[in-house]
């Protein structure tokens, strides 16, 4: 299983989750875990996804999610799980 961490941060608007999840489903990317919160109008979501079944190159997924984020007005970042873990250890 190829796990990827996706973070979505920005001002809350209608449809953020729907658009991100639609992109993932259309690209055979399975959501394994998801957490989201809205604090004083700011949206924050973190997802752990499995990219094992997608036909797209990881770099293309990163680029397309960045474009989607720009369209929705949020910042979307993707990292392989191992890189995320190394960047966030104490």
pLDDT averaged per 10 residues in sequence order, the chain, 90 residues: 94 96 98 96 97 95 97 95 62
- Mapped onto helix, strand or coil, the DSSP state of residue 8 is strand
Question: How many CB atoms neighbour CB 79 within 10 A?
Answer: 18
What pLDDT is stored for residue 78 in this prediction?
A: 94
Reported pTM? 0.88
What pLDDT is stored for residue 46 in this prediction?
A: 97
CA distance 80 to 84: 6
What pLDDT is stored for residue 1 in this prediction?
A: 79
What pLDDT is stored for residue 7 in this prediction?
A: 97
Beta bridge partners of 50: 3, 30
Phi-psi label, residue 18: left if phi above 0, alpha if psi -120 to 50, beta otherwise: alpha
């Amino acid at each position: 299983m190829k796990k990827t961490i996706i973070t979505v941060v920005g001002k809350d608007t209608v449809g953020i989750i729907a658009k991100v999840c639609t992109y993932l489903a259309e690209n055979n990317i399975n959501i394994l875990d998801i957490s989201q919160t809205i604090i004083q109008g700011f949206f924050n979501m973190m997802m752990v996804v499995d990219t094992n079944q997608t036909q797209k190159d990881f770099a293309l997924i990163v680029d397309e999610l960045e474009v989607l984020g720009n369209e929705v007005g949020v910042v979307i970042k993707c990292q392989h799980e191992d890189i995320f873990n190394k960047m966030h250890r104490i």
